[in-house]
Amino acid sequence: MSQPPRVLVIGPASKVGVHVVEQLVARGLTPRVGLRQPTATAREDVIPVHFDFARPASFDAAVDGVDSLFVMWPPGAGAIKRSVLRLLEVARAKGARRVVFLSVFGAGSLRFLPHAQVERWLARSELEYTILRAGYFMQNLSATHRQDVVERAEVFVPAGRGHLALIDTRDVAAVAVKAMLEPGHARAIYELTGGESLDFYEVAAIMSAALGRPIVYRAPSLWSFARRWRGRALSPGMIAFMALEYAFTRLDRSGRVTGDVARVLGRPPLRFRQFVEDHRARWADVQPSR
């Protein structure tokens, strides 16, 4: 009997990574998960290993003996971000065969994005890579922007009337797991979106209907958006990144729907209404305070 593949998940607590881990476990695997503090988890269905993008010395032991790994783009400063390429070099040297890299929608044309640099490196390598250019996560509304919904019953993003093909991170993870474990995905680039192109007025309307209470889309200016997030002590770099993302959406360049999720998974992507209903508890304590 062949040994099960040895897999490593970088960013196991991220919006996508958490579902990659759960879906690997559901397939009967015991994935290795890279954590800055491996002792922080008491789970017995994963193998915690020390991993820190800020400490490249942690890479060797983390990837040693791994067949396939899931890599996401790390938050933080430029020096940390440059560590992605170092990680891939170490993984290749240690004998890893497959890499699934979580990129961003638009990286193919926006060559200035740092994700595009990683994509170019992978294209030059001999690794069996799969690149996931994922669209806007539905989970941003239940995590990043949850406070606005909970405290103000509003969606507060500077996207104007621009459209987004929002995707559930459970679908992104499902594609990632297939690419990590199954044949047929080597050197593939998937552009992952949901099946609907929605503006945030429509997003708020769907949330209102599913949650049974009014949620309003405010459509603030970029300045008002940045000011609110500065008040929450978010780093200037992250504010700038979000502002750029929503400015791009405002130009209505993020609403293209692709069929890659359906082609890979053999089913349609999850709809936004389903996402809201599944995560209703995340907004259960809405108490508008305007």
CATH assignment at residue 197: 3.90.25.10
Question: Domain tally for the chain?
Answer: 2
- Predicted pLDDT of residue 289: 46
The confidence score (pLDDT) of residue 113 equals: 78
152 and 80 both lie in a single domain: no
Residue 81 has pLDDT above 70, yes or no: no
Residues written for the chain: 290
Residues 43 and 117 in one domain: yes
Convert the pLDDT of each residue in 269-278 to its tens digit.
Answer: 999 999 999 9
Q: What is the pLDDT of residue 77?
A: 55
Q: Are residues 160 and 119 in the same domain?
A: no
124-155 per-position pLDDT tens digit: 999 999 999 999 999 999 999 999 999 999 99
Range of the domain at 146: 135-167+193-255+268-284
Sign of CA dihedral 274, 275, 279, 280: negative
My answer on whether 128 and 145 are in the same domain is no
Angle between helices 236-250 and 222-231 (to 10 degrees): 150
Mean pLDDT of 10-27: 97
Mean pLDDT of the chain, nearest integer = 93
**Domain-located, residue 2:** no
**pLDDT tens-digit readout, 143-191:** 999 999 999 999 999 999 999 999 999 999 999 999 999 999 999 999 9
40 and 95 part of one domain:
yes
Same domain membership, residue 142 and residue 129: no
Asked if residue 76 has pLDDT above 90, the reply is: no
